[in-house]
Amino acid sequence: MKLLNRPMQIGALVAGSLALASVGGAQDLTTLSSNPNNWVMTGRTYDLQRFSPLTQITTANVAHLHPVWSFSTGTLRGHEGNPLVIGNVMYVHSSFPNKVYALDLSKEGAPQIWQYTPEQDAATIPVACCDVVNRGTAWHPPTADHSAGIIYIELLQGDLLALDAKTGKKMYQVKSADFKTGSTMTNAPMVVKNVVLTGISGGEFGVRGRITAFDALDGHELWRTYSTGPDKDVGITANTLASPYPSAQGKDLGVSTWQGDEWMRGGGTTWGWFSYDPELNLFYHGSGNPGSWNPDQRPGDNKWSMSIWAQNPETGEVKWVYQMTPHDAWDYDGVNEMVLSDQMIGGKMVKALTHFDRNGFGYTLDRTNGKVLVANPFGPTNWAKTIDLTTGRPVEDASKRTTAKGNTEGICPAAIGFKDQQPAAYSPKTKLFYVPTNNICMDYEGVEVKYTAGQPYVGAIVRMFPGPGGNRGAFIAWDGSTGKIVWSDKENLAAYGGALATAGDVVFYGTMEGWLKAVDSKTGKLLWKYKTPSGIIGNPMTYVGPDQRQYVAVLSGIGGWAGIGVAAGIGAEDPTAGLGALGAFGDAGSFTTQGGVLTVFALDKAGSTGQ
C-alpha cells in the first residue's frame, strides 16, 4: 500500500497548557450551543441556521473590520467547512490528508497546541470525484476520560477518526467505507447524544448510499441504513409515516422503482450536511444522484435517491422520506443542507424545514411529516415548470429531459445546481434565508456505461456555461414562507462559499475569487470586503475570544467541483473536463490560485467597545 503520510501528533508535551474555558462538563450539545461565544458544531446549532446572536460587529462598524491573524493549514486543495471554537481553543481541519489542528486563542497569534496528520492511502485521491475536500469536524462534550471532549473527522479513504480534544491523541479509527470500491468520506459528521452520524461519497462510482452511526466513545457501529433497497435496509418500518403522495406509497419502493438490480449500485450518497431537532428526536439529511448519470439505464423513479430524510439518530428508523427529483436525469444531488426554523405559512406556525436543492427549487416542508408547503425556483429553472403540491412531483418540460439518444441543450440549472454544498444561513431577526448560489446551465448527453467496482460510473458528457445574464453566481435573500427572492447581489463567479447571518444585521459570504463580503441583511448593500489568499469555498463563522472581542473566521482554498480546474491543475481546453465544470469556470485561475489559509478578522479594541 502506497502511503502519502504517516500519522503525526505534535504538541502532546504542551497539551497541559490547553486553555479551555468551562464548557459545562456533562451538559449536552443543545445546551452548550446556546452560548453564542462558542461555535461547537458545523452550523453553530443543530438547526443549521448558521446564525450568531453576537452584536459587536454591526452595519455601522463592519467597515472597520480587519485581519488580525492567519493560519496556513499546510495543504493546497479545496477547503470547505469551518473551524469549531470551544472555550479558548479553535479546531481547524484541512483538505486531504485531513489534518486537524488545535489552536490556543488565549495567546497572541493563536499558536498550535497540537496537530494530527492521519495516515491515508494516496490511491484515494483519484477516487474523489470533485476534489479531495473535507467539510469539517464534530465535537463531543467532555467525558470522564476526556476532559476537553472528543474531536471527530471523516477521512477521505473511508474511516471515522476520533481524537482526544485536549491532547490530539488518537482514540480510535474505524472503517466505514472502502475507497477501492469507489466509496469515500468528505462530509462533516454530527454528534447526537453518544452517537456519531456519518455519510459517504461516491455517487459517480456506482456505490450504494448510506448513513452509518457509531458509538461516540468506542467507535463500534450502532446501525446502518441505505438510500436504496428493500424497506428493511432503508430503515422504513411500520412506524414510518405514510407519504401523502401516491407515487411514494407502497412496499419496498427502493427496489421496485429500479430496473433489475440497478438499485444495488444506485447511488443516493449522503455527503451533505446533517441537522437535528431535539424535540422530535429526528435528524435530517439528503441523498444524492442515482447511478449512473445516464437515465436510460435505470428506468423508474429510482427511490430513494434525490430525497429528504427524517430519521431517528439512535436507531436509524425513518420517520418520513420525500423524493424531490424522481428518475433524475440531470445529476441534481439532493444533499444540500436542511435548515430548521419555525415559519408562518397559511396563517399557521409550522415546524419547517427549508432546503435549496441543486434542481433549482427552494422547498419548505413540514418537518414533522414531510409534506411540501412551498416549492418555488430560486433561479431561472427550465427543466421543470413547477412542483405540483398535490402530487409532490415536478411538472417537467419534456424537451429538457436528458437521454443517451442525443445531446439535450440549454438545461438550467446545470448539474452543479443553482446551489451546491455551500450552506445557506437563516436570521430569526429578519426571517430571511441568505443563500449563496450558482448561475450555471448545461448541455447533457447520456452515454452507455458498464459497472466495474472502483471505476467511474458516470455515463454522461456534460458541458456547463454561464446562465442567463452572464453572471455565474449571486447571493440572495429568500423568504421561505412565500418562496420569493427579496434581494439579490450578482457575482461574476459562483458564490461558492457558505453564509453567516448575525444579530448585528450583517451577513457574510465568500466568493470563488477569494473575497469575504459583508452585506446588510435587510437590503443586500455591500458594507465591506476583504481579499483572502485564495478562493473561498469554506463557511465563515464567528466567536468571542478570551479578550471579549467578536471575531470572524473563514477558510480560503479554491477547489470543490466549481474550482477543480485550479485545485487539480486541469486546463480549460476541454469544456467537458471536470465533469463539465471547466466549461463554466475554466478562467477561475485568472482570479485566484491554490491555497489553504484560515484568516481571522476583528474590529480594533476601540471599535469593539464603542457600540
pLDDT at residue 25 tops 50? no
- Cell (9 digits) for 429: 431577526
**Within a domain: 356:** yes
Q: How many Cα atoms sit within 13 Å of 552 on the Cβ side?
A: 38
Region 525-531 average pLDDT:
98
Residue 16, pLDDT > 80, answer no
Residues facing residue 352 across a β-bridge:
341, 366
Domain count for the chain = 1
Alpha helices in 227-364 (DSSP H): 231-234, 253-256
- Chain centroid offset of residue 406 CA: 33
Residue 610 banded pLDDT, cuts 50, 70, 90: very low
- List the catalytic residue out of 159, 164, 331, 366: 331
Tell me, yes or no, whether 450 lies in a domain: yes
Q: What is the average pLDDT across 323-334? A: 98
Give backbone dihedrals phi and psi of 371, rounded to 5 degrees, phi first.
-80, 135
Residue 179: pLDDT band (50, 70, 90) is very high
Long-range contacts of 3-6 (CB under 8 A, 24+ apart): 3/119, 3/120, 3/121, 3/122, 4/96, 4/97, 4/120, 4/121, 4/122, 4/125, 5/97, 5/117, 5/118, 5/119, 5/120, 6/117, 6/119
Q: How many CB atoms lie within 10 A of CB 108?
A: 8
* pLDDT value of position 605: 78
Residue 172's identity, in one-letter code, is Y
Residue 483 inside a domain? The answer is yes
The pLDDT of 14-34, averaged and rounded, is 59
The closest alpha carbon to 155, from 129, 182, 189, 181, belongs to 189
212 falls within a domain:
yes
Pair type for strands 394-396 and 408-411: unpaired
Which range (14-18, 134-138, 154-158) has the least confidence? 14-18
Give a yes or no: residue 75 inside a domain.
Answer: no
Query: For residue 13, what pLDDT band results from cuts at 50, 70 and 90?
Result: very low
pLDDT tens for residues 574-589?
Answer: 999 999 999 999 999 9
- The answer to whether 331 is a known catalytic residue is yes
| CATH assignment at residue 121 | 2.140.10.10
The answer to whether 241 and 223 are in contact (CB under 8 A) is no
Split at pLDDT 50, 70, 90, the class of 3 is: very low
Using the predicted structure, report yes or no on whether residue 161 has a pLDDT greater than 80. yes
CB 137 within 8 Å of CB 188: yes
For residue 6, is pLDDT > 50?
A: no
How large is the average pLDDT for residues 558-565?
97
Confidence class for position 220, pLDDT limits 50, 70, 90 = very high
Is residue 518, in this structure, part of any structural domain at all?
yes
State which residues form the domain around 208: 8-65+82-609
Q: Does 217 map to a domain?
A: yes
Residue 607 has pLDDT above 60, yes or no: no
Q: What is the mean pLDDT of the chain?
A: 94
Other beta carbons within 10 Å of 33: 18
Residue 1 lies inside a defined structural domain of this protein: no
User: Tell me, what's the pLDDT at 19?
Assistant: 41
Q: Which residue has the cell 443516493?
A: 268
